[in-house]
Amino acid sequence: MEMDLKHTNHLSMITAAPAAPVVMLNANAMPLMGRTPQLIKCSNCHNLMQTRLERRANKNTHILALLLCLTGLWCFMPLPYCLKSCRSLDHYCSCCNQYLGKAVN
């Protein structure tokens, strides 16, 4: 049995492999970190260092202060700015001061 290769359809013999799933990672996403300084490699200066923690007022801090003021408890309005639990905890690089992430609550 001889087969004439000139007239064979080569395209019918090519089978496509199933496509593998592609996982896209967001390289710019800030990781969530703990409530203590973390030993990590900075994505900006590439130094291995321990993070510097800084507390700052966030949206919820301002809303709570506004609610205290609107309910007539204006003398307690500074309270959310003094409480650690009402402010967010951010991690910064101790070498280049780059923002690295937020602590989970």
pLDDT digits (tens, 9 = 90+) for 45-83: 998 999 999 999 999 899 999 999 999 898 999 999 998
Domain residue ranges of the chain, discontinuous segments joined by +: 30-103
Q: Which residue matches tokens 């408890």?
A: 73
- From 59, 62, 61, 53, select the one nearest 103 (Cα to Cα): 53
Check residue 35 and give its pLDDT.
87
- pLDDT tens readout for residues 14-34: 555 555 554 444 445 555 678
The CA-based dihedral angle spanning residues 70, 71, 74, 78, taken in that order and rounded to the nearest 10 degrees = -80
Check residue 74 and give its pLDDT.
85
Its pTM stands at 0.60
| Pairing assessment for the beta strands 99-103 and 87-92 based on DSSP bridges | antiparallel
Q: How far apart are CA 41 and CA 94, in angstroms?
A: 11
Amino acid at 76: F
Residue 10 has pLDDT above 90, yes or no: no
What secondary structure letter does DSSP report for 6? Answer: G
